[in-house]
Every structure is written in C-alpha cells, then in structure tokens.
Structure 1
Amino acid sequence: MPAKKTRKNIRAGRKGKPARKPAKVRRRKPARKVSPRIQKAAPAPVPEERLTKEQLIERAKKPGLEAMRLHPFYRGKIEVVAKCCIRDLSDFAIWYTPGVAEPCKDIAAHPEKVWEHTIKGNTIAVVSDGTRVLGLGDIGPEAAMPVMEGKGLIFKYLGGVDAVPICLGTKDPDQIIQAVKWLQPSFGGFNLEDIAKPKCFRILDTLRRECHVPVWHDDQQGTAAVTVAGLVNALKVVGKAIDQVKLVLNGAGAANIRIAHLCLQAGVKGENMLICDSKGALHAGRTELAQTEPEKWALVHLTNPQGFTGVLPEALRGADVLISLSKSGPDVIHKDWVAGMAEGSVVFVCANPVPEIWPWEAKEAGARVVATGRSDFPNQVNNSMGFPGIFRGTLDVRARTITDEMCLEAALELARCAEDRGLRDDYLLPTMDDWEVFPREAAAVGMKAIEQGVAGITNVTRSDLLRMAEKTIRRARGEIKLLQKEGIIKMP
C-alpha cells in the first residue's frame, strides 16, 4: 500500500519515507564571566560618635560578655567535616584500608602527589606559643586557643582556607622552629600568631629561609600589607606623592618594623622616614641597638640619614604622615603635636582598644585623614582584610614562600578595590562585608608568585586564579550558611 500522505512524509520526499527529526542544536554554554572590579559606591559617611573613654570601654565589654556565653555553647568554633561522599559503609574500603594503599604508594613514588591526594593543598596551621596574645600578654598556649580558633574561622569564611590551631607547649624559639619544620608534611603553610618579640623575628626569618612551604607572621606582614594599602589611598585623597612625603612611625615593635620595610618598598624614601620608640628616634648614635635589638638597628641604616635625635613631638613637626602602633590611648599623642604637622596630614592611630588620640581630636588639630584599628570609627585598618586573600592566592599556585613583593601586591590590590568604589577622607579601605576583595587579592598574589618563580603551579592566568578563588570562597561561605539553615549549626 502506498504510504499515507502526511505533512511529515511529504516533506521527506520520494518513497514515502518519514521525515527525519530535525537535529538538536547544541547551545554552547556561555563562558563564565570573570567578576568585574568592584563598582559599588563607597558606603555613605557615618557621623563619628563622640564617646568618652568610659563609654567606649563599656561598649568594648559587650562582645566579651557575649563571648563568655557563646564559647561554652559551641565548645569550639571549628570542626572536621567530611568533604568526600559516603554512599554506604563499603565506601570506607576506598577512603581507608585497603583502597587507600594505592594513593599512599603513588605519593611514596611521587611526593608532589600529596597535594592532589590529601588536604594539604588547602590546609594551614595557625601556630602560637601564647606569649603575646592580643593585649593580654603571655597567657600560655591553652589560653591562646580561642584566638587561634577565631583566626581559623576567619581564614575559612573569608578565604576558604582550612586552618588548624596549633598551640605549642614551649617558649623556646629553637623548639618552635623545629616543631614547625617537623609539621611540614601535613600542612600547605603556616601562620605564626601572637609570638612575643624579639624571638618572632628570628622564628619568621629562619622558617621562611628553611621551610619548603610558606610561613607568614600576620602580626608583622598582615598588619604591614593592610596599613600600606591604607597609606596609598590616604595619599591619593590628600594629593601627595609617596616618594615625597615625610613619614613618622611611632612605635618600633614587630608590626611597625615590618610596616617600615614595606613602606620603603612601596616608594617612601628612607631620608624622609623617622622611626620613634620610647627613647626617641632611631639613629646611628644608638649603637647599643646592634646587640640588643638588631631589627631596629637594621632600620637605622635605611632611614634617618640626617641623624635626627629628637623625640616624637619634634619628629612630627612638618610631617605629612604619622603611623602609630604604640600603646592604648587616649592622650598618647596630643593635639598640639598633630597641629604641628604639614597641611593635609594623614594620621593612623591603630592602638587597641583605644587609639592614641581620638579621631575627632586629630581632625580638630588639622589632620585631613584619620584611620584607627577600630570598626566603630571610619577607616579601620584590620588585618582581616589581608591574610585570607593572601593565603588563598598562595595556596592556589602552591607557592613555596610569601615574598615581600607578594605582600606589596596584595596591599596595592586592596587599595585598588577601595579606589574602584570611590575614595573619601572617611573611606580608604574596603570592609569584610566586601567579600569580592579576597578573590582579587588572591589572584594578584598568585600572579606575583608566578612572576617571581616561587609558584609550583604556573600554567594559569589571572582570570583562572580569580575564578578559582571565587569558587572556593563561595563554597566556604555557602557551606556555613547551609549548616545554619539546616540547624546543624544551632543558633544561640
């Protein structure tokens, strides 16, 4: 019988063959876009509250009261959570014996495979001996644990980095160095935390030189990176060139010593820099420093060639910038000292819990831009804007160290993030709410590591690193939110 005519077989042509189904057109997935630079406007100015010291101290007590309630409630801030599937108990033959023997043999034959088969590639240790914890001093390793856990939580939420607190039962710098070296097989890097000076300098320098994974001291390097980012933008606000300004550093502890070095690297000229400790300016006549505090003595040879021997009030006369990390205020720095600075001066007073001078007093005295270490004043200089992104980028390229140039690159990228939103007297740096900052820092740090030849992974672009960091950080933040939503992390 002849085939019945239908629309389909008429279109098919002769012999009454049914028409072929039209081929499906495969639509290519659009290329994933790289996040653009932050274009959000800077937050609206917030009027400064003129609170007394007593009111500020009372406000500062509130987080501590909540901490005493919530720390026992959660019994720790971080925990181990599985990241592999467990379909049923037979999967343990893959994740443990006998199957696990195969990746073990692979690593034994090719040690670099440890980065692929294990957690090492995204896991660091936060190491402390508890000798300089916040403003509490030498409180011991057990008492330091809550701080190290908190650091680990920030690493995870802002950088997607798994961080394990390691509080050591020794104060001996040689034993600390040896302990970190022994732990290298298990960790992709180390964050040194709350270790007293001067031993913190030798510990960092030795481990940076002798370890094959990155070692970082946030009290030094993290503070320096974020401070320099703020300085770069402050000078843009006041319209001054970094290689022309006179800069005074008040305090010569671990943070300011590293800040001094990074400022020099960023373009501040040594002849324009003065560093003051409790005895006055560092100068060549203080020869005792060569034996007692070699880190200060090293800066003598890099700064103050004119041999200024005065104290802080004299050093500030005509200065463009003050960066102070000394002791808690107020009244450590006086209004008349600030009044004697150059027009359009920049004042960073970062002591905690109270800055060396109230911000409004510094402004009344003539300062154009003021920054502090507090979140309740504009222009907070906070390490948390640095270390999560810096370590993210370091791990993503398997860098074997974190160079000073990588720190500076992070500082400049952090500064650009704020500049993209619009700089003002009261807006120099992004805040932790601006999570897009951290992937950008990570990409900048990773590319600098590749450029300097310290990266183990080199066949990636800036866009690749940006996407990798965004994916990892989004996952970490989403995981925490999901656990809260499902009630696994209980709300207090």
Structure 2
Amino acid sequence: MTLLRDPLLNKGTAFTEQERAALGLRGLLPPCVLTMQDQAERVLINLRNLPSDLEKYVALNALHDRNEALFFRVVCDNIDEIQPLIYTPTVGLACQKYGLIFQRPRGMFISSRDRGQIAELLKNWPYPAKLIVVTDGERILGLGDLGANGMGIPVGKLSLYSACAGVHPEQCLPIVLDVGTNNEELLRDPYYLGLRERRLAGEAYDSFVDEFMQAARKTFPGVLIQFEDFANHSAFKLLHKYRDEACVFNDDIQGTAAVALAGLFSALRVNGSKLRDQRILFLGAGEAATGIADLVVSAMMAEGASEAEALGRNWLVDSRGLVVKGRAGLSGHKLRYAHDHGQIADFLAAIETLKPTAIIGVAAVGGAFTPDVLKAMAKLNAHPIVFALSNPTSKAECSAEDAYRYTEGRALFACGSPYDPVTLGGRTFVPRQGNNSYIFPGVGLGVIASRSRLVTDEMFMAAAHSLADCVGKDDLDQGSLYPALPRIREVSARIAAAVAQVAYQRGLAEGPAPNDVMGLIRSQMYEPHY
C-alpha cells in the first residue's frame, strides 16, 4: 500500500505480475496490466471530456499527486495542450479558487508564526531539494495579493522544470511564505487556507525572509532558489540583497527579460535592423518592465551603443503616464529610465510623440493596446513589434487577432497567453507565447548541472541568444518569434549548456568544465518512464 500511495514510486495498473507478487500488491489492483501508453491515453480521454479548464487542472493535479511519472509523461507528450492547463492561464483561476479545489498538500507552507523554527520545519521535507521556487503570494500573475493561495504558482513552475528541462521532481520543492494577506475578500473567505491576518511589513518581514534564506541554504546546501511573484517593492530588494551571496534569481525580472529579449532578436531578423537602433516603449514600469529594459540595455551596449544611448532608447509608461525626470514619487527601479521630457499622460500620446519601433506590455492592463494604439504603431513602422506579455488572458494588452488585424498583418507579435492561429488576407499567422517557460527551466538545469554558486545576468543573456538561435526560418515565415513548444526539452538543453558554459568560464561552477558540457546536461535530464 505504501508504494501505491507514493507518487514518486506508484505505477498503478502498470505494475507487472512479477512486481505485484514481489511487492505485496496482488489483490490491491485490478488484474489487467496496462502499459504507460495505455494509461496516458486513458488520462487524455477523461481529461478531454471534462467541461472546463479548471476541472482539467484539478484532474491533472490529482494525477500529479498519485503518479508523477505518468503525470509528466502526459505533460511531455502533449505539452501544447497541457501547459496552459497546469500553468498560465489556468493556474491564475486555480489560485483564486485554491481553497475550494484543495485536495492534498504539495510543497511546504511556512508561516510568520513559524519564526525561529524555520530550519526545523524544512527538515520535515523528505527529499534532498536542489531547487526551490518560493513566493509570498503578494503579486500572483496580474491578479494581485492571493496570499497562501499562491502555492499554485511554485507548484506549476516546478512542474515545468521537470517537464520542459528534465529536472527530477524529487529535487524540486515549492514553498509559500505565508506572511498574511491584505486581500479583504480572502480574509472573509471561510475556505481560505492561509493566515487570516494582515501582511507582515518592514523589519519583521525582512527578518522572516532572511531566516528562511539562511535556513534553506543550510538545510539544502547549494540549493537554487527562485523568487516568484513577489510584489515590486519586495522583488527588487530581495534580488539585490541575495544575488551576490546566494544562488538565487527572480524569474519575473530576469526570466521575463530573457524571453522578451529573445523575441526581439527574432523580430529583428524579420525587419533586418539592429537592436541598438530600436526605440522601445514599455507599458508598465515594474519588475518585468525594468528587468527587460536592463537586459535590453546590456544587449544594445554589446552591439556598440554607449550606456547613455542605450538607456535613452528605452522608455516606461506607468499608471501616471510617461516616466520622466522630475516627476514626484519615482521609486528606485524607475529612476534609471526617467528621461528628460515633458509629461505625457497616456500611452497613445506617448507613441505619437516618441515614435517607438516596439511596444512591450507588462502592466496587466487588459485591452490597453487598443485599435488606435495598434494603428499608430503600424503607421510609424513597416513591421511594428508588438509584445502583449501580460497574463492570464483577461489581462492581455491585446489579442493576437487584433494585433494582426489593426496592423494589416505587419505586426511582429508575441503574447503572454496562448492564442490560436489567425488567418488574415489569405495568410495564416501562428502567434507564440513569450512565456518564461522557454527560459527558466533551462537556466535552472544549467545552474544545477554545473553546481554554480551564483546566477548572473550574463547567464540570462546567454539564454536569450540560445532561445533566439532555436527559431528557424519556417517559424519566422508564419509569424512565430519562438520555437514550437514541443521542442522545449531540446531548447532547454541548449540553454542549460550555454548557462553552464558561463558558470565554468567565470569560475562559478564546482569543479573544472567537462569536455562535453551538452553530454553533462543530457545525462542529468529526468525522463518520465517506468
């Protein structure tokens, strides 16, 4: 019975007659022995008969809880169909409904009431974690403060680490730091599973997170820690505090930056221009926008631009309008992109004034790229670059159909949520997500395989170039700025090798570089089978 209850060991009806006899399973299973392929086909039949994506999410979560190998086999073999169900956009709704759909705990919940005991709590985890994805639930996707309900995000991210890059699920640990919530609806919700109190702030919050960081690194030496869906004020502070002393990164800042930069590299192959010559206008001025802008500036400088020139080609628009020098109340991460210019109140006016070649939406303001915005970009550019990267779908700046229709099919488009192909004027466009799942799994695998002490911006630059190199002419001809998702394990392996090479070259890895870095990467990739 222990075997049947352990998702890492359970094979269900695929246990052979010999295994059933040897392991005390006879009579505990129906007599028919099925192959993994039989089981996977049955899962898909049942899944496709369910009426809603949320019910499909729950069914996949239940499979994950009882048979991990089969779960990951289904995900790997049907990544286009399953990824939107286990991660964006469905995971956003799952987090909102978390208290209602909760069945079995996965990962660890560490609350502010556990202060002083976090090291003891972490020892309860039964596996030697090499990778932690941690959130405090304050800024889940574009949905805001969901508190402990945010556990769906680290669970989903780690599922993609295993499915997309082959990081063994036994090495993965999802964690929620439950420091309370300021979401009034959750505080009143009888089914909310987190602390029913206001969020920790200030020194109490900082010391709690620091206790977690020290305890995690002591309990799991060399562990890679990914910060996920922290609010801006915490995200920048934590990354700045720990990045030079611990193996950490923030996917919302650095992963988003790399996937967006890769998309820009692909788009520029179509219009034949250089990155250093682009003028980029961001809708949003938070961790995603400034993270992308920082990496773009570095890439422009690598093409020969001075830092001042590169900075001057990146502009931000936030809820108060264009970010400019002299505006009161600018926070630290925005100051670098506060240029000398008059105040402009709205996004369309900023486009008409600054004449950008690219607009990148990361503000989670649904529909913000209006028909007038798209037409203005098409008037200014033969091939306007339009990235609507916010998710879930309800927060997308525009749909793929609108992006193509209002630019007369000339937009170089990437999205944060999945969209079906669009046929316009006899041509079919295949938009692809600028999803961080193209980047973070490979980065994590490369860091783990090389046992790097730190995660650097140079690694994310290498990841962006590797991802862009995976985009072929056939992809570009159909409007796709990213490779097909079924190639994700190949893409992740190439990114991991590039990241590991940086670690070895910079002396961050443990031990000398192997003769065959790609061989090292592939040898560590988990393959779900019995």
TM-score (norm. length: structure 1): 0.69
> 2:400–2:419: 8 Å Cα contact kept in structure 1?
no
Q: Which residue of 1 aligns with 2:414?
A: 371
Amino acid at match of 1:66: K
Distance 1:295 1:469, change over 3 A: same
Which of 336, 340, 349 is matched with 2:388 structurally? 349
Counterpart Cα distance in 2 of 1:151 and 1:357: 25
Q: Is the 8 A contact 1:333 1:357 kept in 2?
A: yes
Deviation string, structure 1 residues 94-149 (Cα, Å, up to 9, x no partner)? xxxxxxxxxxxxxxxxxxxxxxxx986x71111122222234432223x2223322
Query: Which residue does 2:281 correspond to in 1?
Result: 248
Deviation digits for residues 228-277 of structure 1 (CA, Å, limit 9, x no counterpart): 10111111112221111111111112111101101111117222221110
Q: Structure 2 matches for 1:254-403, cutoff 5 A?
A: 254-267=287-300, 269-289=310-330, 293-300=331-338, 304=339, 306-310=340-344, 311-317=346-352, 318-330=355-367, 332-341=368-377, 342-343=380-381, 344-352=383-391, 353-354=393-394, 355-366=396-407, 367-377=410-420, 378-403=431-456
Shift of 1:419: 3.6
Amino acid of the structure 1 residue aligned with 2:373: W
2:254 aligned with 1:221: yes
Partner SS for 1:243: helix
Q: 1:282 to 1:426 in 2, by over 3 A?
A: same
Q: What is the alpha-carbon distance in structure 1 between the residues aligned to residue 370 and residue 51 of structure 2?
A: 26
Q: Give the alignment partner of residue 196 of structure 1, picking from 231, 242, 247.
A: 231
Q: Tell me the amino acid that sits aligned with residue 468 of structure 1.
A: L
The 1:436–1:70 alpha-carbon spacing in structure 2 relative to 1, beyond 3 Å, is closer
Offset of residue 376 of structure 1 = 2.5
Tell whether the 8 Å contact from 1:223 to 1:259 is kept in structure 2 after alignment.
yes
Q: 1:406 corresponds to which residue?
A: 459
Q: How many residues align?
A: 367
Structure label with greater radius of gyration: 1
Shift of 1:421: 5.9
Deviation at 1:189, TM superposition (A): 1.0
Deviation at 1:76, TM superposition (A): 7.1
Change (3 A) 1:281 1:260: same
**Deviation of the 1:321 alpha carbon:** 0.4
What SS does the aligned partner of 2:267 have?
helix
What amino acid does structure 2 have at the position aligned with 1:408?
Answer: M
2:131 to 114, 124, 147: 124
Contact 1:369 1:425 in 2 (8 A): no
Q: What whole-Å deviation, never above 9, does each CA across 1:360-409 have from its counterpart, x for those lacking one? A: 32223324211111223412111111111111111222211111111011
Query: What secondary structure, in the 3-state scheme, does the structure 2 residue paired with 1:323 have?
Result: strand
What is the Cα deviation at residue 287 of structure 1? Answer: 4.0
| Alignment match, 1:38 | none
Conserved 8 A contact 1:128-1:168: yes
Instruction: Look up the equivalent residue of 1:163 and give its one-letter code.
Output: C
Question: Which SS does the other structure have where 2:386 is aligned?
Answer: strand
Query: Hey, what's the Cα distance between the residues in 1 that align with 2:518 and 2:478?
Result: 30
- Tell me the distance in 2 between the aligned counterparts of 1:363 and 1:385: 23
Supply the distance in 2 between the matched residues of 1:216 and 1:61 (Cα, whole angstroms). 38
Aligned to 1:98: none
Q: Verify: 1:459 aligned to 2:513, yes or no.
A: yes
User: What is the letter of the counterpart of residue 176 of structure 2?
Assistant: C
SS at match of 2:243: helix
What is the root-mean-square deviation of aligned Cα atoms in Å? 2.5
Alpha-carbon distance, 1:418 to partner:
1.0
Report the counterpart of residue 68 of structure 1 in structure 2: 58
What's 2:520 paired with? 468
1:210 maps to which of 217, 240, 245: 245
Per-residue displacement from partner, 1:16-36 (whole Å, max 9, x unpaired)?
Answer: xxxxxxxxxxxxxxxxxxxxx
Answer yes or no: is the 8 Å Cα contact 1:380–1:429 preserved in 2: yes
TM-score scaled to structure 2, two decimals? 0.65
Secondary structure in 1 aligned to 2:315? Answer: strand
Equivalents in 2 of 1:177, 1:298: separation in Å? 28
CA distance in 1, matches of 2:232, 2:208: 16
Q: Summarize the Cα distance change of 1:132–1:422 in structure 2 as closer, same or farther, 3 Å threshold.
A: closer
Q: Provide the secondary structure at the position in 1 that maps to 2:471.
A: helix
Question: Which runs of 5 or more residues in structure 1 are unaligned?
Answer: 1-59, 80-117, 484-492
Cα drift, residue 73 of structure 1: 5.7
Aligned AA for 2:446? G
* Contact persistence 1:145–1:167 (CA under 8 A): yes
Match of 2:470 among 393, 417, 420: 417
Shift of 1:347: 0.3
Report Cα offsets for 1:32-58 as digits up to 9, x if no partner: xxxxxxxxxxxxxxxxxxxxxxxxxxx
Deviation at 1:78, TM superposition (A): 5.7
